[in-house]
Each structure stands twice: as C-alpha cells, then as structure tokens.
Amino acid sequence: MDNAATTAVHPQVLEKMLPYFTECYGNASSIHSTGRDARKALEESRRKVAAALNCKPQEVYFTSGGSESDNWAIKGTAFANRKKGNHIITSAIEHHAVLHTCAWLEKQGFTVTYLPVDEFGQVNPQDVEAAITDQTILISVIAANNEIGTLQPIREIAKIAKAHKVLFHTDAVQAVGAIPVDVQEIGCDMLSLSAHKFHGPKGVGVLYIKQGTRIENFMHGGAQERGKRATTENLPGIVGLAEAITLATENLEEKSSRIAGLRDQLIDGLTSAIPHCRLNGHRTNRLPNNCNVSIRFVEGESLLLRLDLAGIAASSGSACTSGSLDPSHVLLAIGLPHEIAHGSLRFSLSDTTTQEEVNAVLATLPGIVETLRSMSPLYADFMEENK
Amino acid sequence: MYSDKVLDHFSNPRNVGEIPDADGVGTVGNAKCGDIMRMFLKVDDNGVITDVKFKTFGCGAAIATSSMATEMVKGKTLKEALKLTNAAVAEALDGLPPVKMHCSLLAEEAVKAAVEDYMKKHPEAVID
C-alpha cells in the first residue's frame, strides 16, 4: 500500500535485465561484437520508451532516476537560457527534487515564483500566465502530485508556455504507468520519469527533451547520450526500464480503472468509517492509485507503526516522518493546519494490489484510530468541548 | 530505527488514561509540532506518587517515552520525580534515534509540569 514510494520489479522485467549483467555485459561504446550487442539493446530500449511516450528515440535521455531528470531539466535550461532571462515559475507542491533545485538556483541569481494551489492542490493556469514576465525562461509543474495524487492542468499550462515562448517541464514520475502520458498530446518540452515507480528497477530514469530545446549537458565526459550525459550506460537498468514502461502502458485503461475502483473503496470506506477523517486532494481529478486522508487527533507516524504491526505498509506527511518539525509542504499548501497535516496517511496502490489488501486496511485502520484517540489529549479536549 | 523496548512501550503503553481527581496535571508540547503530552499524578501525604497516568498525541517515540516516564516515577517521591532526566528515559528504552530525543525531553517536562501543578495546588507541600 506504499507503491508511490516504490514498486516491486516485475518478474518479466527482471528476466529481461539479467542477461545484461553477465553474457551481454558489453560497453555500448565498444566496437567489438559484445559492444555492438549492448548498443543494439540500448537503442532498442530507447525506441521502446519513445513509443510509450510518443516521441522520437533521439529525444529520450537515460538518467539515474526522477531526481536527476528534474535537476537536469531545471538547471540545464536555466543556465542555457540565462542570457534570455533569469525567472522560473513552479508550484508550491512540487517534489523536493524540483523545489530544492529551484532554491539552489535562487542562490545562483535566478528568481523563482512558487505558485499557490487551491484546496485540492490544483494550480490555476491563469496564475501561471499572470506570473510570466519578459525574464521568464522556464515553467515546471508536476503532472500528478506524489503525496495527494492531484492531477495538474499540464496541457493548458503547456499551451500558455508555448504562447509566451517559455520552456515547459513536467515531473511525471508518479504519472507514468498510472495514467496515459503522451508528450505530443501534453505539449511539454521536457518530462521526467523514473522506472522504479512502475515495476522497473531503481537507479534509472528518463528525461524527455524535445528536439531543439536549449539545455546544458548534465555530465561532462564521454559521448554517451548524444554527449549530454556522460557515463557508461546502465544497460541492465535501461533494458529494465524499457520493458517496464512497455508493460505498464499495455492495457493501461483497463488496469487503472480496476485500481481506481479499489482506491474509491478505500476513500469512501475510510472517510465513512472513521469520524473526523477527510480526503486530501481532489475526489476525482486524482491518480487512480492514490488515497490520502487526514485523521484528526492522531499523529501519522503512530498510525504507520500500528499499521506496520498489522502487516500494512503506508506513508505519512507528518513531521515525524519527514525528519523536520514541519509536516509536508504539500499538505500545508492545500491549507491544512499543522495538527491536521500531522495526522495524514497515504495509501498508494499498484497493479498488484488486491481486493483482500484493501479489505484489510478497511478492517484494521478504524480500530487503530480508536485506540490512538483513546490516548490522545487532543481528542479528550475535543470531546469535552463538544459535550 | 526503534529499539524493541520502544516498540513494546508504543504498542502496549503502560499507565494510559486519566485520573479524574488528580492532584497534579501537566500538559506540554503543542499540536503544531505534532506532540502533546499530558501527565496526571496522584500524590499521598508523604509526597509519594501513588498513581500516574498519561495521554499523548504524537509519534511512536512520544508515546513510548510517556509510557516509560510514568513507570519511572510511579512510587517515587516528588523530589525523586523531579530528578528524572530525558537521558534516563531514553536509556531505559535502550536508546532513541537522534531526531527523536526531543520526545524524551517532552516526557521529562511533562513530569515536571505535573509536579509544578501539584505544588501550585498544595502550597503547604515542601520538596526538601
């Protein structure tokens, strides 16, 4: 139930990867036949990813994951377009890979606008347009939020960016494999994705870069990835990513409608069985695999530990799980007070999630909440006030 | 990240609840930071803590340190209870992760706040 954190590698993906550790271990830059075999597998993988994203193979750049793709997209275009301007627009609910990159760029002399979101976590495209200045060089808005699952109007934002001749990047790490992602249809210039979110291996991702986009090279060295990202290719990972994205995008509609059905059972079941429990994010305009709720008078980490003791893995946006004193920036951005944000829980489903697992959450969580509330001074005070 | 003892006190907390006619009650922490502890004391004429209960809103460490602190002050005199340190609570739990040490501090403060409340309500009492 924590598949937004990571997923298990699909057996078929693993099977495709294994030969590239041993018999096909060649370096794709070598001239000999082992090298040529590696090159063939590399380019075949690139074609598969291009087919899944509906772009040209030469627009697919393999990276080490979603964070690298985000870093490269933002820093790479910021520095390459510095003469044009120094202004970047993003949202308040981006992944830290985007937010911390933007914060670092601010130290390098760039200015960043962090757009607010509404109570459901949606960016308003009109706000994007209003924030554009003659200095704006890049807009980066997440396709689907990783915590609350809200889908963003990225197509409208892409149109606005295009009309103002500003580059548009979207972090689609949670979206790929969960909903259809077609870079032509979205109209983005860059898009980040990560294999381990859709049953691929960890440590490998993609940055889609539309042909003609001005971007600095990420890693200096050899000629790998058209000279833009040096380092001998992680071929087993790349082969795994290609297989995983192919599998993930097969019958996507059918799979995601089954998962959305389970998600709806969770949302409706939890919000009706647990008093003072609210859904975070939009009810319908959300990822089919995301259920995020806030449960008042209890704290998220306690909920996670109790769920874990019952054999259920979930995650929380409480401060205690973030390693800081503040709860998740996403929950605060949608207007939740700190004490309610501390009591948040995220269940994220995948293709392998079963009806039984959903039933187990619905059968277990209300009791856990009751136990924790029975020892919560906040709940005692609330009951006293509402006698 | 948590020791077995922390997990034991978290899943089977000792002395949870309230004492309706408590002699001293202390509440520390705040919901904004995600931790609130409330400690209830029953104290006899000799200044001995005969009963102690707690209610805590917070993470696993917050609940475990509250539970351990109640065990450590039960049956002790007020003077002894005031000597309870967060380090002692953490040690009794076989240690806490560094980011959770503030929870043990909260437990120490909750005991002190409850004793202070008792002293306020019983100005005649002396802790020598």
Q: What is the pLDDT of residues B73-107, one digit of tens each?
A: 999 999 999 999 999 999 999 999 988 888 888 99
Residue pair A230/A224 in contact by the 8 Å Cβ criterion: yes
Q: How far apart are CA A46 and CA A35, in angstroms?
A: 16
Strand partners, A50: none
Q: How far apart are CA A99 and CA A50, in angstroms?
A: 27
First to last CA, chain A: 37
Q: What is the pLDDT of residues A305-329, one digit of tens each?
A: 999 999 999 998 776 655 566 789 9
Name the minimum distance, in Å, from the CA of A339 to any CA of chain B: 5
Q: 3-class DSSP state for residue B69? A: helix
For the ranges A148-157, B44-53, B118-127, which has the lowest average pLDDT?
B118-127
Q: Which residues of A105-134 are buried (b: 16+ CB within 10 A; e: fewer)?
A: beeeebebbbbebeebbbbebebbbeebee
Specify the pLDDT at position A317. 78
The 8 Å CB, 24+ separation contacts for A333-336 are: A333/A92, A333/A93, A333/A116, A333/A117, A333/A121, A334/A93, A334/A117, A334/A118, A334/A119, A334/A120, A334/A121, A334/A148, A334/A280, A334/A281, A335/A119, A336/A280, A336/A294
Residue pair A70/A92 in contact by the 8 Å Cβ criterion: no
Tokens of A142: 């997440």
pLDDT band at B16 (very low <50, low <70, confident <90, very high): very high
Q: How far apart are CA A292 and CA A219, in angstroms?
A: 37
Q: How far apart are CA B77 and CA A75, in angstroms?
A: 62
Average pLDDT over residues A223-235: 94
Specify the pLDDT at position B33. 77
Residue B32 pLDDT > 90, yes or no? no
Fold classified for B4-120: Sufe protein. Chain: A (3.90.1010)
CB contact under 8 A, B34 and A376: no
Q: What is the pLDDT of residues B52-76, one digit of tens each?
A: 999 999 999 999 999 999 999 999 9
Domain ranges of chain B: 4-120
Say what the alpha-carbon torsion angle B98, B100, B102, B105 is, to the nearest 10 degrees.
-100
Nearest residue of A to residue B64 by CA position? A302
Nearest residue of B to residue A317 by CA position? B34
Tokens of A316: 């929380």
Name the minimum distance, in Å, from the CA of A381 to any CA of chain B: 11
Residue A375 pLDDT > 80, yes or no? yes
Name the minimum distance, in Å, from the CA of A304 to any CA of chain B: 9
Q: What is the ipTM of this complex?
A: 0.92
Average pLDDT over residues A54-75: 98
Specify the pLDDT at position B99. 85
Average pLDDT over residues A63-72: 98
pLDDT band at B34 (very low <50, low <70, confident <90, very high): confident
Phi-psi region of A118 (alpha: psi -120 to 50; beta: other; left: phi over 0): beta
**Token match 């269940």: residue?**
A347
Tokens of A381: 């005070």
Average pLDDT over residues A161-187: 97
B103 among known catalytic residues: yes
Specify the pLDDT at position A308. 94
Residue B124 pLDDT > 90, yes or no? no
* CB nearest B16 (choices: A300, A319, A375): A375
Specify the pLDDT at position A82. 96
**Contact residues, chain B, for A342 at CB < 8 Å:** 31, 34
pTM over cut 0.95:
no
pLDDT band at A111 (very low <50, low <70, confident <90, very high): very high
| Residues whose CB falls within 8 Å of the CB of residue A126, separated by 6 or more in sequence, listed in order | none
DSSP code for B76: S
State the maximum Cα–Cα separation within chain A, in Å, rounded to a whole number.
81
Tell me which of B59, B96, B103, B105 to substitute to probe the interface with A (most A C-beta atoms closer than 10 Å): B59
Q: What is the pLDDT of residues A12-39, one digit of tens each?
A: 999 999 999 999 888 888 889 888 999 9
* Average confidence score pLDDT of chain A: 95
Query: Which of A164, A124, A117, A126 minimizes the C-alpha distance to A145?
Result: A117
**Contact residues, chain A, for B58 at CB < 8 Å:** 299, 302, 320
Catalytic hit among B22, B62, B103, B114? B103
Specify the pLDDT at position A167. 98
Identity of residue A107: K
Q: What is the pLDDT of residues A194-209, one digit of tens each?
A: 999 999 999 999 999 9
Specify the pLDDT at position A373. 97
Q: Determine the length of chain A.
A: 387
* CB nearest B32 (choices: A298, A323, A339): A339
